[in-house]
Chain A
Amino acid sequence: MASAIPSPRLERRAAPSAVASAVVPFVAVALALVAGGIVLWAAGEPPVAVYRAMLDGAVGSRDGVAETLVKTIPLLLAGLGVAVAFRMRLWNIGAEGQLYLGAVAASGTALYVLPDAPAAVLIPAMILAGMAGGAVWAAVPALLRARLQVNEIITSLMLNYVAILFAEYLVHGPWRDPVGFGFPGTPRFPDAAELPQWGTTRVHLGLAFGLAAAGILWLVLGRTRWGYEIAVAGTNARAARYAGLPTARNILLVMALSGALAGLAGMSEVAGIGHQLQRSFSPGYGYTAIIVAWVGRLHPGGVALVAFLLAGLLVGGDALQMELGLPAAVAPMLQGAILFFLLGGEALARYRVTWRRPTPIPGGPAPVVEPG
């Protein structure tokens, strides 16, 4: 017989609580700061000073803001790509690979296809190539899913490794800089391939791509027939079939758009920052983009906001070691704590915790009115 000790249980809410949804992010960040603060305090560091240093590093100066924006760009573009796919319940885990392919296609265009073109031709060509590269890479899992019902989570994830290794092959092999002392990496791009930068900072035109993409996506998802089809298919796939929506076609199109946005992130990273293709030029932007998309609730505005906040967190984390001499591991620890509480809080918006003694009617699925 079950004991009479009250035990916590999660009860699903009928609908996500609106109040909880609005409050959760703030409470989560506050809890994360408290939890991180306890660890810092235990390690003998004053938590307030640490947080102040992070905030200062991220947005406390013009250069801090600029660097945060630089980091925002790839997270925003790839995050939008992930979000649009997730909206249709296409679990594209392959943004990292699509980002690499976009960078490879853009680099090839700059170095070998149109090396002598003026910027007005070359940059649009690189944009198209980057988006096409990402789209083609995303189309592979999309085709397998639409035609053969192959789970896109596995295929898109596995293609990341293929893409990264392909890029490595290029920079170690055929595209290696002939005067680079044998080190992996392509030659520098022609000057015309460099995205314009904002003043003396490193903030580049990619930010405009990101903001434009967020705006366009917001319009497409909310105002067009196609956005409507994505919403229906993403919310109730059976209803989409019942209403005769072109699901297979939309799987392809949505995944291609998702890959194109990730590809654009890769293109803007090499054209705006690196000015050459290097191995491991992305520190996992395509994976972080998944977090950005989720925490941003798959909404373009939310994704933009979260991309900026997460970028600030990453940039601000630098200050901890540079200025306070803390181990580099402190920054990821705080980042992890914030994400943990944020995602945990999401659950609380959907579930309610109740403390109850074991009652005669156990939880289980909601009673169905169609017995017998």
Chain B
Amino acid sequence: MTRDAAPPAVEMRGITKRFGEVVANAGVDFAARSGEVHALVGENGAGKSTLMSVLTGLYRPDTGTVAIDGRPVRFRSPRDAIDAGIGMVHQHFTLVDSLTVAENVLLGRQGQGFRLDTSTVERELDALGERHGLRVDPRARIWQLSVGEQQRVEILRVLHRGARILILDEPTAVLTPREAAGLAAALRGLADEGLCVVFISHKLDEVLALADQVTVLRRGRSVGTVDAAATDRRSLARLMVGRELLPEDRRLTPTAGTPARETVLEVVGLRAEGDRGRPALDGVDLRVGAGESLGIAGVAGNGQRELAEVVTGLRRATAGRVVIGGQDLTNRSPRAVAAAGVAHIPEDRLATGLVGGLDLAANAILRGYRVRPLTRGPLLAGRAIARFTDRLLDANDVQAPGRSTPAGRLSGGNQQKLLLGRELDGRPRLVVAVHPARGVDVGATETIHRLLREQRAAGAATLLISEDLDELLALSDRIAVLFEGRVVGEVESATADHEQLGLLMAGVTGQPGTERAGFDGVPIGLAADG
């Protein structure tokens, strides 16, 4: 690897980008050179995608500068970035299914006139694919290709436009291990030809196997760039999650003195598939007692969402059992699960838990509209609903102009308080909460945490899924860590710290040498034959 005096291919300095009150990037510095593979790692919400969106011209930074090959640039649109030689491969492909590979590559290119010269492009693609180990039939239609081949088309499209800086957003998330290995080899080859390859990831294995340099982002800031050869998984994990300890006084009062609590939720050998049909839960065992709160930690995409959905009846289990209050509720309807006393604060409140286009009253009664006093015969009881809604808004500190406001107009925090208030009304036996305070302001977070603590104090069992370690430590008695669909460790919150959890989340299960215990993929660096 040559480290000459030439300026970096990409140099970003002091990038700050706010979305409303959320600071996604806070003075981030980032530099990558030609000829290297550069990994950008960090937890969900660390600001990786925002930074790359700035680089590709999708967002304009509030402050900060971008220089390409040492020349300052100001991108007004993605088109400018493309013209500057930057190419992005998104996690979700942007190909037209019914067109051929060559046609997709031609699509959206300027100055082509009306006639598509596909035969020339087909020859060029054949040559490009041959050279970079990204072979795909340029005459095939996109729908005929596998996901891995489609990704190759995305990369070829970017290369065909003459990109010299290639950015990939979680490129292996959608690939089989074999495909991932092939991709790794191709990226290495591209770097060797002098391209600058940047890829976003939160899988430390592939980062270490593939990258020359690693930049770590945490909470919108860059915490450092390290030489991949000079670091290990443990130190990267530490950088990713930080090592701050939560002040003792913000932790839960231990309830460990109460022996032999009645078991409320029992999950045994649970397996389920994700949206793409790949295994998401791979034999999960959990137990939560009354008045106990179990936190689930993990990097996004390790099965947390699926776990919540299977427990609440929204997703089918392919094996295993879900027992709630002694009742086997495996693969029962969401309605049956709710009837057993399960409250569910879903991951995406506005897409799942609320009906944004309907008013607050309609949202308040979503769980209880079938029962008296909110209903009389087939009719809804308007007055009772109004009283109920007002009480719910009041009790949960929801600030709203009135109960006829559409729920979608409330701020995120107020939406979440309304949702919590509704779900926690009527003494649930089990509370399943997924990222309950994500994207809400500090005040609302306080209220939401208070509400969850009150439920625990009142004897409800809580299954709290979060990527925020502080939140987990503050609200849970125990924390189980999910990795690749399995529980790789469980710790008592009172004694746990960020470092320990961060390692578990990265799949590091303690003793050196067994680090890959929870990882069922083929190590990327070792499978570069594909």
Contacts and interface: CB of A to CB of B under 8 A. Distances in A.
- Asked whether the complex places CB atoms of A and B closer than 8 A, the reply is yes
B22 A372 contact: no
Given A224-B378, A225-B380, A243-B334, A367 B353 contact: no
Interface string B39-78: 0001111111110010000111000000000000011111
Contacts of A147: none
A82 B47 CA distance: 46
A369 B362 contact: no
Nearest to B25: A371
B18 to A, nearest CB: 10
Contact of B77 (A224, A227, A232, A358): A358
A248 to B, nearest CB: 11
A22 interface: no
B437 to A, nearest CB: 13
Interface string B360-374: 001001110110000
A369 B19 contact: yes
Nearest to A235: B357
Contact of A232 (B19, B42, B366): B366
Nearest to B48: A372
B369 A236 contact: no
Interface string B325-360: 000000001111110000010100001111111100
A226 to B, nearest CB: 7
A354 B320 CA distance: 56
A245 B59 CA distance: 40
Nearest to A360: B60
Nearest to B46: A372
A224 B381 CA distance: 9
A115 B313 CA distance: 54
Interface in B429-472: 438-439
Given A367-B59, A372-B42, A372-B48, A225 B369 contact: yes
Contacts of A370: 44-45, 438-439
B334 A242 contact: yes
B311 interface: no
B318 interface: no
B315 to A, nearest CB: 11
A49 interface: no
A201 to B, nearest CB: 37
A106 B73 CA distance: 74
Contacts of A9: none
B378 A359 contact: no
B77 A2 contact: yes
Contacts of A235: 355-358
Interface string A218-238: 000001111110011001101
A364 interface: yes
B20 A369 contact: yes
Contact of B76 (A225, A236, A360, A367): A360
B355 A224 contact: no
B352 A371 contact: no
Contacts of A226: 378
Contacts of B45: 370-372
B181 to A, nearest CB: 25
B193 to A, nearest CB: 29
B314 A359 contact: no
Contacts of B335: 243-245
A120 interface: no
A368 B79 CA distance: 21
B375 to A, nearest CB: 6
A225 to B, nearest CB: 6
A59 to B, nearest CB: 36
A362 B77 contact: yes
Interface in B263-283: none
Contacts of B53: 371
B422 to A, nearest CB: 10
B374 to A, nearest CB: 9
B334 A2 contact: no
Contacts of A225: 369-370, 375, 378-380
Contacts of B22: 369
Contacts of A239: 351-355, 366
A298 to B, nearest CB: 12
Contacts of A359: 76
A43 interface: no
Contacts of B76: 1-2, 358-360, 362
A223 B333 CA distance: 26
A241 interface: yes
B59 A228 contact: no
A15 interface: yes
A361 interface: yes
B334 A244 contact: yes
Given A224-B378, A224-B380, A225-B378, A371 B406 contact: no
Which of B53, B79, B358 has the most chain A CB atoms closer than 10 A to its own CB?
B358
A371 B354 CA distance: 22
Contacts of B378: 224-226
B32 interface: no
A223 B380 contact: yes
A29 B313 CA distance: 50
A362 B382 contact: no
Interface in A272-294: none
B340 to A, nearest CB: 12
A369 B439 CA distance: 7
Contacts of A223: 379-380, 382
Contacts of B79: 2
Nearest to B348: A238
Contacts of A361: 59-60
Interface string B296-338: 0000000000000000011000000000000000000111111
Nearest to A364: B58
B77 A367 contact: no
Contacts of B333: 244
Nearest to B409: A15
A2 B83 CA distance: 12
Interface string A1-17: 11000000000001100
6 contacts: A228-B369, A242-B353, A361-B60, A362-B76, A371-B50, A372-B47
Q: Can you list the 8 inter-chain pairs with the closest CB atoms, starting with the nearest?
A: A244-B335, A371-B49, A371-B50, A372-B48, A360-B60, A244-B334, A235-B357, A236-B355
Interface of B: 19-20, 22, 24, 42-50, 53, 58-60, 74-80, 83, 200, 217, 313-314, 333-338, 344, 346, 351-358, 362, 365-367, 369-370, 375, 378-380, 382, 406, 408-409, 438-439
Interface of A: 1-2, 14-15, 223-228, 231-232, 235-236, 238-239, 241-245, 358-362, 364, 367-372
Given A359-B76, A362-B58, 9 more contacts: A15-B408, A224-B379, A228-B365, A228-B380, A231-B358, A232-B358, A239-B351, A371-B24, A372-B24
